[in-house]
Copies of this chain bind each other. A is one copy, B any other.
Amino acid sequence: MDTKNLPVGVFDSGVGGLTVAKEIMKQLPKEKIIYFGDTARVPYGNKSRETVIAYSRQIVGFLLAKGVKAIVVACNTASAFALEAIAGDVPVPIIGVVKPGARTASKTTKNGRIGIIGTEGTINSGIYTEYLSELDPGISVFGKACPLFVPLAEEGWLDDPITVDVIRRYITPMLEKDIDTLVLGCTHYPLLAESIRKVAGDNVNLVNPALETALELARILREKDLLSDGSDVPHHRFYVSDGAEKFRSFANSILPCEIIETRDVNVKVFGQP
């Protein structure tokens, strides 16, 4: 098969990366996606850098073995901890969600005051602050780890008074710092966007890195002449390390396509980190 018609690999610690996969399907409707969700080891947000690197390396090996032409790390924590560490060993283009997210935020802000919410790992890594300072040293960044957002999203309490209370607890301090832009720095958080909007008000722009990530992928595929020519029907495939049925029902609720197959994958067979 022509390299350009090979699939794009997308991975996440679990289901959250489907919000990125969805944006890629929208922006690049001719591309086939192979998605991997590490549902056996989710969440990544409170694990150490070394562990997240080891897991990411295993998953990249799995995707490469499936013959992908490019890889999207659709997980902020893995993008923050692992992308730089593993990119050098990967023979295809690989991009994360953090750089696109930072770029969008820097273009969006008017007053140069940006809030970042994400997992403990993403926030403590300081990576958004680092990228934003590179883009514009005048920008002030206010980060906050929100470890309850993922379980609230997975519980399905998306538009719920308790969720609103939790959001208020987490983001009030950055609202008091007069931010005008808030990056949803974890792929689960767009699911809570409506409730976050209630707390943040209409004067704060919510940035979802998924769109810019899909656009960056499009740019890179175009540059490298790797855009699918559409001669093949886009047939997406989804793999998880645990709970295929549970994943399937969640995925079907947020994706604009029928999921063809979901398979449990034993992560231990991926090879050593």
Contacts and interface: CB of A to CB of B under 8 A. Distances in A.
Interface string A152-169: 101100000110011001
A121 to B, nearest CB: 11
Most chain B Cβ neighbours within 10 Å, of A147, A148, A150: A148
A231 interface: no
A268 B243 CA distance: 20
Interface stretch (A40-48, A65-73, A204-212): A40-48
Contacts of A48: 242-243
Contacts of A243: 46-48, 51
A266 to B, nearest CB: 8
A47 B40 contact: yes
A47 B42 CA distance: 9
A144 to B, nearest CB: 12
A149 B77 CA distance: 23
Interface residues on A, range: 20 to 34
Contacts of A151: 147-148, 150-151
A249 interface: no
A203 interface: no
Contacts of A154: 46, 147
Interface in A252-272: 268, 272
A46 B148 CA distance: 16
Nearest to A152: B148
A147 B161 CA distance: 17
A152 B149 CA distance: 11
Contact of A242 (B51, B150, B165): B51
Contact of A162 (B47, B51, B155, B166): B166
A263 to B, nearest CB: 13
Interface string A19-49: 0000000000000000000011100001110
A154 B151 CA distance: 12
A242 B51 CA distance: 7
Nearest to A166: B162
Interface in A155-213: 155, 161-162, 165-166, 169
15 contacts: A39-B47, A40-B47, A46-B154, A46-B243, A47-B242, A51-B242, A147-B155, A148-B148, A148-B152, A148-B155, A161-B165, A162-B165, A162-B166, A165-B165, A268-B272
